Amino acid sequence: MNIISAGMVFTRGSGIGSFENALHEGWRIPGEVEYSKSNKSFAYQFDQTTIRDKAVLKKMRRADKLSKMAVAAASEALGNSGIDDIRGKNIGIITATALGAQVTTFSFLDDIIEYGESSVSPTTFSNSVHNAAASYISMVLGIRGPVMTVTRFFFSFQSALQLAQSWLNESRCEFILVGAVEQYGDVLAYIQDTKLNASPDGRILPFNLNPAYQVPGEGSVFFLVSNKDTDTALCNIEDVYLDTYEKESEKPDVNIIDTDGLLKDESVYAESLSPDIPTAAYSPVFGSMMSGSAFNCLAGALMLRNRMLYASPVQDNPHGLNIVDRTVSRDIELIRCIRYNCYENKAVICLRKKQ
Amino acid sequence: MSNNNVLISGLGVISAAGRDLSETLESFSTGRRNAGPVTLFETSLPYPVFEVRDLPEEFYPEHQRTAALALCAVNEALQDARLGEDLSALRVGVCMGTTVACQLNDLDFYTSYRESGAASMGPVDRYLKGNIAEFISQRYRLNGPALTVVNACSSGTDAIGIAMSWLKSGLCDIAVAGGADELNRVPLSGFGSLGIVSRDPCAPFDRDRKGLNLGEGAGVLVLEKADSAARRGISSGMRVLGYGSASDAYHLTAPKPDGAGLETSIEKALSDAGIAPDKIGFVNAHGTATHDNDAVEGKVLAKMFGPDIKILSTKGVTGHTLGAAGGIEAVFSAAALREGWIPASAGFENQDENIPIVPVRERTEIRGESALSTSLAFGGNNSALVFGRGRKT
């Protein structure tokens, strides 16, 4: 299937252009936030005022931040399609989220604790349901195809892509908005800092592997995918390997690894790297998220479209890996995006230059 | 691969109506309704619920109730399909719907965090291990795709539809699919706040219906490619013939009054199955007993199948089991086709003049070879499955 277009929001703004700028500019120190009364940590938070399409926001005044991020990204992806009558097509939506509306869920628990279970807010409850973000995309963009929300922690996004491919092959949809969304919250920060290694200086060190350091992030990426092709399509998703052995294929030009500190020890990634294939990792520009694979996948798609190899934003390299250390023009053919989960299972998304 | 080659080789179910399929069919026969006050947690809310009693201890890992319910149903379905405990040599996927298990909504954990800025990581660890599909995949050492569907009340139906897609696209040969959800204080409060929970046992499609009752349980199908079943020496006449899904794009919690999304989902399911509406022998409706759901669903079903179509809602004996509902009702639909009868639609007494359809009032023999099960969800999602029976292959 082809990535026809994409949209995104993240800590450094809204839109694909913001992400391309970040890939060019490299790492910036994230903001510091306070959580659990007196603790502080770094976090890559999204500023909602950067959403440019105010008409979209107007249609979802009662929505939470998670849903607004998802709708903004999906709306941009649809708007970038270059297809005149795109909204009249048979479009499905598949939203991947590891943790969903956890911030709104805790807000609902605040209601129960403060006001009692018979005096809670129905609006907060409605927005806390896991599929609320996908539903808002459907309502705001007027999409009446199948609308699905799926979760599988580290492999949420890869699972969504796999399902999108199946739906397209069955002709269940002509186009699918498939993407990921995660929101930062203080409880999440507390959990991550308790269970994992908090970065002392705001830097995720993606090539350190062990110990790995995390900085919570938030944002959303959506892709419009189809088995059709267009002149402006970004690239082809050749394969998604998940819960199966990766087929032996030609050597990729680049490996993008999803190291972001959400595994305390990321040494397992070394198994998938080769000294003769350059490796990149972009989590330091968007933060640690279980569905952060979508952001790295977008980085890969932009590299293929722009014929550009983007330097890894943080380059501490204690193991002497062959890393992408400079931004250079390069005609890239094939990229592997690699993620491991806590069971050391591997998922690979293969992106190929559009023929 | 044609849908006709997706066999149902195993069924497993647990709910307030029974801890397995035979107990459930017994409840259906006798019309027993096990609604009562909440005993699983403290609450001041006065709503009756459908709890599962005497959940077998062996299926209760680490206080994860949703996982326990799922394991009960999966275990029964795998036994029914004559599949053992270790499935690592086969290509088996698992796709499960849920609502509660996808959220970290542990009140004790959160209260502690709020009050002291610290909390035990025990509930977090249970949550992280409790992704239902991943949990089952790890438990049975499955060697295929695993995915948890969190599409509110259509999750179980959608999980089965996704499993069909996996089989057709060759991602696996066998798929364990359905839904599981526990009764939980948070959704009970939430649904209560929406004013759609009844203080009496629910009465789907009834003129005097006052809302839904929450329930809990799990329902699981083992779906299998015909050639895989043949290799294992398994025969089954039961099939999932079609799946369809469509969104209302209308409202976060209310169904679209004209039911356009539901109608489209049913049309897609019938088209996927390659059958006409007149081949449907009965409809296992979503039938939550809320005013809006039953009004919209009744109108659409009457429009598409005529006012004489045999319909029932089984939520009168299970309550609304949320993410499990589609899985549980898929098991009931397939079992009813196999058994050749459907039970009375529990709770129904008087026809609503605004609903041009009457659910069955007594045990009813069914003649058709196909059945439809529908699910409507928060967020405006509508999904439908078509089941078929025929010669064993």
User: H/E/C letters for each residue in A81-102?
Assistant: CCCCCHHHCCEEEEEECCCCCH
Both tokens assigned to A320:
């002497």
B125 CB-near residues (< 8 Å, 6+ apart): none
Q: Is the ipTM of this complex over 0.95?
A: yes
> pLDDT at position A100, please?
96
Q: Which amino acid is at B279?
A: K
pLDDT at B282 over 90: yes
Q: Determine the pLDDT at residue B5.
A: 86
Point out the residue among B119, B158, B193 whose CB comes nearest to the CB of A148. B158
**Model pLDDT, residue B61:** 66
Cβ–Cβ gap A135/B247 under 8 Å: yes
B66-83 burial code (b ≥16 CB/10 A, e <16) = bbbbbbbbbbbbbebbeb
Q: Which domain holds residue A198?
A: 2-352
Q: Which residues of B touch A121 (CB under 8 A)?
A: 193
> Do A125 and B193 count as a contact with CB atoms less than 8 A apart?
yes
Per-residue pLDDT band for B62 (boundaries 50, 70, 90) equals: low
- In eight-state DSSP terms, residue A28 is -
Count of beta carbons in the 10 Å neighbourhood of residue B42: 8
The three-class DSSP label of residue A152 is coil
Contact between A93 and A134 under an 8 Å Cβ cutoff? The reply is yes
Tell me which amino acid residue A276 is.
D
Chain-wide mean pLDDT for chain B? Answer: 95
Local confidence band at B393 (pLDDT 50, 70, 90 cut-offs) = low
C-alpha to C-alpha distance for B154 and B384, rounded to whole angstroms? 9
Q: How confident is the model at residue B376 (pLDDT cuts 50, 70, 90)?
A: very high
Which of B14, B66, B16, B13 is closest to B36 using CA atoms?
B16
- Biggest distance spanned by C-alpha atoms of chain B: 64
Kindly give the parts of chain A with pLDDT less than 70: 248
Q: For position B94, what pLDDT does the model report?
A: 98
Checking if the pLDDT of B273 tops 80, the result is yes
Nearest partner of A26 among A344, A315, A313, judged by Cα: A313
| Chain A partners within 8 Å of B180 (Cβ) | none
**Chain B positions in Cβ-Cβ contact with residue A227 (cut-off 8 Å):** none
For testing contact with chain A, the best of B92, B100, B138, B151 (most A CBs within 10 A): B151
List the single residue in A with minimal CA-CA distance to B147.
A152
Q: Does B49 touch chain A (CB under 8 A)?
A: no
pLDDT above 70: residue B228: yes
**Which of chain B's residues have a Cβ under 8 Å away from the Cβ of A93?**
247
From chain B, pick out residues whose CB is under 8 angstroms from the CB of A113.
107, 110-111, 114
For chain B, the domain total comes to 1
Q: Is the pLDDT of residue B42 over 70?
A: yes
- β-pairing, A147-151 vs A91-96, is parallel
The two structure tokens encoding residue B348: 């129904």
For the stretch B96-121, pLDDT in tens is: 999 998 999 899 999 999 999 999 99
- In 3-state terms, what secondary structure has residue A180? strand
B135-159 pLDDT, tens digit per residue, is 999 999 999 999 999 999 999 999 9
Nearest to B252 among A132, A145, A242 (CB): A132
Q: What is the pLDDT of residues B359-375, one digit of tens each?
A: 999 999 998 899 999 99
Asked if A205 and A266 touch (Cβ cutoff 8 Å), the reply is: no
Please tell me the distance in Å from B225's CA to the nearest CA on chain A. 16
Q: Is the pLDDT of residue B22 over 60?
A: yes
Instruction: Answer whether residue B60 shows pLDDT above 90.
Output: no
**Is the Cβ of B41 closer than 8 Å to some Cβ of chain A?**
no
Residues of B in contact with A150 (CB under 8 A): 147-150
The sign of the CA dihedral B181, B187, B191, B197 is positive
pLDDT band at B201; cut points 50, 70, 90: very high
Residues counted in chain B: 393
Residue B86: is its pLDDT beyond 80?
no
Q: Which of A147, A153, A191 is closest, CB to CB, to B131?
A: A153
Instruction: Indicate which of A62, A111, A121, A149 best probes the interface with B, i.e. most B CBs within 10 Å of its own CB.
Output: A149
Q: Which of A66, A129, A196, A340 should one mutate to test binding to chain B, selecting the residue with the greatest count of B CBs within 10 A?
A: A129
pLDDT tens digits, residue range B285-330? 999 999 999 999 999 999 999 999 999 999 999 999 999 999 999 9
Residue B179 C-alpha, separation from nearest chain A C-alpha, in angstroms: 13
CATH number at residue A174: 3.40.47.10
- Cβ-nearest to A117 among B44, B166, B377: B44
- In B101-140, the residues whose Cβ lies within 8 Å of chain A are 102-105, 107, 110-111, 113-114, 116-119, 121, 124, 128, 131, 133-134, 137-138
Query: Could you give the CA distance from residue A17 to residue A14 in angstroms, rounded to a whole number?
Result: 8
Mutate one of A39, A41, A125, A240 to test the B interface: name it (highest B CB count within 10 A). Answer: A125
Q: How confident is the model at residue B338 (pLDDT cuts 50, 70, 90)?
A: very high
Over residues B23-32, the pLDDT tens digits come to: 999 999 998 8
Instruction: Show the tokens assigned to A51.
Output: 């959403």
* CB nearest A36 (choices: B117, B149, B247): B117
A324 Rama class: left (phi>0) / alpha (psi -120 to 50) / beta: beta
- State residue A355's pLDDT score: 85
Q: Compare CB distances from B118 to A36, A105, A150 and report the shortest one's residue.
A: A36
Give the CA-trace dihedral at B327, B107, A137, B250, to 10 degrees. 70
- With CA atoms as reference, the chain B residue closest to A169 would be B169
Q: What is the pLDDT of residue B56?
A: 81
User: A-chain residues within 8 Å CB-CB of B41?
Assistant: none
- Rounded Cα distance, A131 and B152, in Å: 6
Which domain does B17 fall in, by range?
3-389
User: What is the rounded distance in angstroms from the CA atom of residue B100 to the CA atom of residue B151?
Assistant: 11
Per-residue H/E/C for chain B: CCHHHEEEEEEEEEECCECCHHHHHHHHHHCCCCCECCCCCCCCCCCCEECCCCCCHHHCHHHCHHHHHHHHHHHHHHHHCCCCCCCCCCCEEEEEECCHHHCCCCHHHHHHHHHHCCCCCHHHHHHHHCCHHHHHHHHCCCCCCEEEECCHHHHHHHHHHHHHHHHHHCCCCEEEEEEEECCCHHHHHHHHHCCCECCCCCCCCECCCCCECEECEEEEEEEEEHHHHHHHCCCCCEEEEEEEEEECCCCCCCCCCCCHHHHHHHHHHHHHHCCCHHHEEEEECCCCCCHHHHHHHHHHHHHHHCCCCCEECCHHHHCECHHHHHHHHHHHHHHHHHHCEECCCCCCCCECCCCCCCCCCCCEECCCCEEEEEEEEHHHEEEEEEEEECCCC
pLDDT at B258: 96
- CA–CA distance, A6 with A9 (Å, rounded to integer): 11
Give the pLDDT confidence score for residue B392 in this predicted structure: 55
Note whether B147 contacts A150, CB cutoff 8 Å: yes
B43 touching A (Cβ < 8 Å): yes
Burial class (CB in 10 A: 0-12, 13-18, 19+), A260: buried
Report how many domains make up chain A.
1
Strand partners, A340: A346
Report, as residue numbers or ranges, the catalytic residues of B.
153, 286, 320
Which residues of A are less than 8 Å from B95 in CB distance?
A: none
Q: Name the residue facing A100 among B43, B103, B113 (closest C-beta).
A: B103
Chain A nearest-CA distance from B274, in A, is 14
Is residue B84 packed enough to be buried (19+ CB in 10 Å), middle (13-18) or exposed (0-12)?
Answer: exposed
B162 contacts in A (CB within 8 Å)? Answer: 148, 163, 166
| Mean pLDDT of the B202-214 span | 98
CA distances from A217 to A11, B142, B153 (A): 8, 32, 30
**Non-local CB neighbours of A258 within 8 Å, separated by 6+ positions:** A281, A283, A292, A293, A296, A337, A338, A339, A340
Residue B57 belongs to domain with CATH number = 3.40.47.10
